[in-house]
Amino acid sequence: MKPFLSILAILTLTAVPLRAQTTPTPIPTPIPSPIPDTPTDPVAIQLTALRDAFAKKLADTGTVCPIAPPKLLLQNVNTWAHYDAEANTLTTPLWQQLTRQDQSAFYRLAGANPTLEDAHREFEIGIHHWVFIHEMSHWAQACLHQDEDRMPYDYEYGANRIAIAFWRETDNKLLEHVVQHYEDVIKYQTSPVPLDQEVEEYFNNSFDKISPTPANAWFQSEMITELYEKRPKPTFKESLQLPLYPGP
């Protein structure tokens, strides 16, 4: 399976006009951080717990996964988090591993006159919760053999449905916080799709070109906001059983 790039959530979120922030906030220069010792790093411990909670929730649906939960790698990656099915690893960075430019995006997200704590909180919500579970959803797809010969739009749509169902049952407040950002993208960002093409067709045909750019934000926002509004709301178990795309 060709591994697909992650949701690029921060590109999505920073595409929104900075309505709340009026005064630029000085951003501390990040200190380069070596790759941490995963078994003892406190963030790694939290991510391991979240990974295992997702794996347990999957098992509780009666799904028997032949693949172990992915090994966590804490290092910077340009897609913020990435599940590699061949290596069965999930890579995501620590806050202190981000560049100054990357960290600035989370200060912008945090609103007016944000503190380091505010920016760090947005990072943890956006990357170590939403994007992390989106990537764990790709692991679930691998468990269910839903990653074989799939078009990019189907694959991403299915992972977003699983992630939404997980957070709806686990922490709906967090889900609402994230969805609000995606709704703002749809409100303020112009569609990158040519008028003579369908959304899915353009995304599939241009995926390699789109995925590392801010344009991917719009597509992810389209999927997430559509899925969030769908009724009836699928349970986590149902989200695993539905066709990747389209689905009810």
pLDDT in tens, 69-106: 999 999 988 778 899 999 999 999 999 999 998 899 89
Q: What pLDDT is stored for residue 244 in this prediction?
A: 75
Inform me whether the pLDDT recorded for 17 exceeds 60. Answer: no
The band of 221, judged by pLDDT with boundaries at 50, 70 and 90, is: very high
Q: 22: pLDDT confidence band, cut at 50, 70 and 90?
A: very low
Which has the higher per-residue pLDDT, 214 or 27? Answer: 214
CB atoms within 10 A of CB 129: 22
Mean pLDDT over all residues of the chain? 84
The whole-number pLDDT of residue 168 equals 98
pLDDT at 173: 97
Residues contacting 51, CB < 8 A, separation 6+: 69, 70, 72, 90, 132, 136
| 162 vs 165: CA distance, rounded Å | 5
Tell which wins on pLDDT, 83 or 15.
Answer: 83
In 3D space, the residue among 73, 68, 80 whose CA is nearest the CA of residue 38 turns out to be: 73
Q: Mean of the pLDDT values across residues 199-206?
A: 94
State residue 35's pLDDT score.
53
Q: pLDDT category, 29, cuts 50, 70, 90? A: very low
The yes-or-no verdict on residue 131 having pLDDT over 70 is yes
| Tens of pLDDT, residues 225-248 | 999 999 999 999 999 998 776 655
More confident residue, 2 or 25: 25
